[in-house]
Amino acid sequence: MVTMEMVFPEDTREALARSDRNLSEFERWASMAAGTGLAIYGLSRLRSSGWLYAAIGGLLLRRGVTAHCDVYEAIGFNTAGTGSDTRAALRGPRGVNVLESVTINQPIEMLYRFWRNLENLPRFMHHLESVERVTDTISHWRAKGPAGTTVEWDGEIHHEVPNQLIGWRSLEGSDVVSAGSVNFDAAGAGRGTRVTVHLQYSPPGGKVGAAVARLFGRDAATEIREDLRRFKQLVEAGEVATTSGQPRG
């Protein structure tokens, strides 16, 4: 029977005891999950470019274990307990920006009402498990996290123009630091409505984490693009098309 023991270098052990933690709990665990996966992937392919994946995985793993990011420290960025300052967590080069849109053959009023009822969102956003209304502007969200975990946070609609705009942001104490908006605009005579989603977020692992996600084919832009495609199918046809259970051609 072979056992494996993970031994961290002295500087890492010292970092574990540091009080200058600057990662949220969600970002910490996500970094460890991504780091472990990349390290295993890289070690299995050392004969090619696997060493690069292993090195990135090691850095992410160390980042998660210590709950400390040297890059964040250098730029004065902190997501540990700073969910209340969403703007500071996302401003400038710190956040990742996503902009996606779709044209839907339905009137603005209908699409706005459907989206404004936030409990409808899990019907076409597959990463969401549920959205629970707390007040007219505050809601509780549950989503699928890394490695089979569930992530929860509270969000607030802080800016709203009926039949035109819904703007939101995460609230204090949230592990998910994000803000964004959805706009509804007339697409032109007989063309329906243009729905545009702008999302700004701080991903697990920062921009490195976003790059790793893209490497494996999963990132916010791809997910939002697919969400909008399903939204279009749902409100135009009454259901989301699926290939589940169909034979492969």
What is the model's pLDDT at position 143? Answer: 83
- Tens-place pLDDT, residues 123-169: 999 888 999 999 999 999 888 766 677 778 888 998 899 999 999 88
Nearest to 44, CA basis, from 54, 55, 59? 54
Distant-in-sequence, close-in-space partners of 121: CB < 8 Å, separation ≥ 6? 115, 128, 131
| Per-residue confidence (pLDDT) for residue 42, from 0 to 100 | 79
Rounded Cα distance between 232 and 236, Å, is: 6
Please tell me the predicted confidence (pLDDT) of residue 218. Answer: 58
Helix (H) or strand (E) run with residue 198 in it: strand 193-202
The CA R_g of the chain, rounded to the nearest whole Å, is: 20
Hey, what CATH class is 86-237 in? alpha beta
Residue pLDDT, tens place only, 188-208? 877 899 999 988 876 555 555
The partner residues of 102 in beta bridges, in order of sequence, read: 195
Which residues of the chain fall below pLDDT 50? 1-19, 75, 81-90, 93, 215-217, 243-249
d(CA 175, CA 187): 36
Q: Can you give the pLDDT at residue 98?
A: 83
Are the beta carbons of 146 and 31 closer than 8 angstroms?
A: no
Which residue intervals of the chain bear CATH 3.30.530.20?
A: 86-237
- pLDDT in the model for residue 165: 94
Residue 235's pLDDT is what? 94
Q: Other CB atoms closer than 10 Å to residue 123's CB: what's the count?
A: 14
